């Protein structure tokens, strides 16, 4: 029989159990949401980004150290990583959040090329088939995609849906050559792998591009020398004394160089759009706006950025003098720079060796002749667009 005292005892036990349960419940989804944009790190404190979040700057030699900044664990609530409100974050921070960089991952097995037709189309030029096929032949385990303009638009909408200003910039670019340049940076930032122009031949597999002594988990970007014009009139032919090639690039997704070049092009495009100067944009300015001049400047800026390297331990800034006359690969931080022979064999100047040289990895057609850089960059795009 339930007496009054027993009823009080049961009630007390029930209330105690209820209290313990409510004190130890798992956090709700709302508990995972952090404060608004004020909690996002300011861009001037940005460090190397990995899948685990921001990292502090650590000492790195500017003359080829193997060390890169170490990972910093993100703030968590329970066992889940905090979400970030990116609506008011700087563009570079948005890109870093959407496409985190982890140098220790493998290079993605992608080959990206662009053209107005796919190889499955009867309109794909027969003169391009040997070059396009060489990439699949040398990389049998890779996903090899030839992206048309129409596909590029939809692919970028999918990849950059959370960064609408990038999509607006891409759509606003007035010339096909500008979009072609921008696309290569965008696809490598988001997915990584290899980008190479449609008129290039793969002479050796990318597995042979890096020296055996260089650990793959310490490298995030592989580039080559396009031009090393050791002559007084070099400025009549090229925009930079040392110019890095952007017709062939290998990277891991999220690399800071790609993040910076995408942010730069996006911001400059939207600025010109607001000013109303995009419509009057001249083709001769492509090299500085999206082409190899901008690419070269961005790389040098990264190599001399104290957010990634301890500049006090080196012998000064890295300049063109550190790369002129190269005959072997050079490692600086997580970047490997290949000599001119690697991506420009057979040009018969600037120290480039022939196609059968051990360091010759990619052959670029250059429309059959060696031209000044400004003519070649624009002319190649006219050819690609069939104009």
Mean pLDDT for the stretch of residues 193-206? 97
* Residue pLDDT, tens place only, 26-43: 343 323 323 222 222 233
Question: Lowest-confidence range among 35-49, 59-73, 84-98, 372-386?
Answer: 35-49
Q: Using only the alpha carbons of the chain, give its radius of gyration.
A: 26
* pLDDT score of 365: 85
- Residues 6+ away with beta carbon under 8 Å from 385: 116, 176, 177
* pLDDT score of 9: 61
* pLDDT score of 50: 27
* pLDDT score of 284: 75
Give me the DSSP letters along 306-319.
TTTS-GGGSSS---
* pLDDT score of 382: 33
Mean pLDDT for the stretch of residues 370-387? 38
Q: Does the pLDDT at position 218 exceed 70? A: yes
Q: Which residue has the higher pLDDT, 130 or 89?
A: 130
Give me the DSSP letters along 105-169.
SPPP-EEEEE-SS-TTSTTS-GGGHHHHHHHHHH-TTSEEEEE-HHHHHHHHHHHTTT-HHHHHH
Mean pLDDT for the stretch of residues 138-163? 96
* pLDDT score of 14: 61
* pLDDT score of 31: 33
Of the pLDDT bands very low, low, confident and very high (cuts 50, 70, 90), residue 226 is very high
* pLDDT score of 1: 54
Boundaries of every domain in the chain: 106-385
Q: What is the pTM of this model?
A: 0.76
Report CA 56 to chain centroid distance, whole Å.
Answer: 21
CATH: 1.10.20, 1.10.1060, 3.40.50, 3.90.550. Which one for 106-385? 3.90.550
> What is the distance between the alpha carbons of residues 185 and 182, in angstroms, rounded to a whole number?
5
* pLDDT score of 313: 72
At which residue do the structure tokens 């200003």 appear? Answer: 165
Average pLDDT, the chain: 80
Mean pLDDT for the stretch of residues 312-337? 91
3-state SS of the chain: helix, strand, coil percent to 5?
40, 10, 45
Tokens of 364: 């670029």
SS3 category, 147: strand
* pLDDT score of 312: 73
Q: Does the pLDDT at position 98 exceed 50? A: yes
Of 1-15, 40-54, 82-96, 164-178, the range with the highest mean pLDDT is 164-178
Q: Which residue has the higher pLDDT, 292 or 376?
A: 292
Q: Which residue has the higher pLDDT, 367 or 381?
A: 367
Mean pLDDT for the stretch of residues 231-252? 94
* pLDDT score of 315: 75
């Amino acid at each position: 029989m339930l007496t009054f005292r027993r009823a009080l005892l049961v009630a007390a036990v029930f209330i105690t159990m209820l209290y313990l349960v409510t004190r130890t419940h798992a956090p709700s989804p709302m508990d995972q949401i952090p404060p608004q944009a004020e909690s996002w790190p300011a861009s001037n404190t940005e460090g190397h980004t990995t899948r685990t979040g921001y990292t502090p700057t650590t000492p790195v030699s500017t003359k080829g150290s193997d060390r890169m900044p170490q990972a910093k664990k993100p703030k968590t609530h329970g066992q889940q990583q905090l979400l970030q409100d990116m609506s008011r974050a700087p563009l570079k921070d948005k890109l870093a959040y959407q496409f985190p960089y982890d140098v220790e991952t493998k290079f993605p097995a992608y080959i990206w090329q662009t053209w107005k037709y796919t190889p499955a189309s009867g309109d794909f030029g027969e003169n391009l088939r040997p070059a396009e096929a060489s990439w699949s032949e040398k990389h049998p385990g890779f996903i090899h995609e030839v992206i048309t303009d129409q596909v590029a638009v939809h692919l970028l909408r999918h990849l950059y849906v959370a960064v609408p200003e990038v999509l607006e910039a891409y759509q606003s670019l007035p010339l096909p050559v500008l979009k072609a340049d921008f696309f290569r940076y965008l696809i490598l930032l988001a997915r990584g792998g290899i980008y190479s122009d449609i008129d290039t031949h793969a002479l050796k597999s990318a597995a042979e591009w890096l020296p055996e002594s260089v650990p793959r988990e310490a490298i995030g970007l592989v580039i080559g020398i396009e031009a090393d014009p050791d002559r007084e009139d070099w400025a009549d032919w090229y925009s930079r004394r040392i110019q890095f090639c952007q017709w062939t690039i290998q990277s891991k997704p999220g690399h800071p160089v790609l993040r910076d070049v995408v942010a730069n092009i996006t911001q400059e495009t939207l600025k010109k759009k607001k000013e109303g100067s995009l419509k009057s944009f001249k083709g001769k300015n492509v090299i500085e706006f999206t082409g190899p001049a901008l690419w070269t400047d961005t790389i040098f800026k990264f190599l001399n950025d104290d957010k990634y390297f301890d500049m006090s331990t080196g012998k000064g800034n890295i300049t063109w003098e550190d790369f002129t006359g190269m005959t072997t690969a050079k490692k600086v931080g997580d970047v490997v720079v290949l000599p001119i022979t690697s991506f420009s064999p057979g040009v018969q100047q600037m120290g480039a060796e022939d196609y059968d040289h051990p360091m010759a990895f990619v052959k670029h057609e250059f429309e059959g002749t060696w031209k000044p850089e400004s003519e070649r960059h624009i002319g190649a795009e006219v050819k690609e667009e069939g104009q």
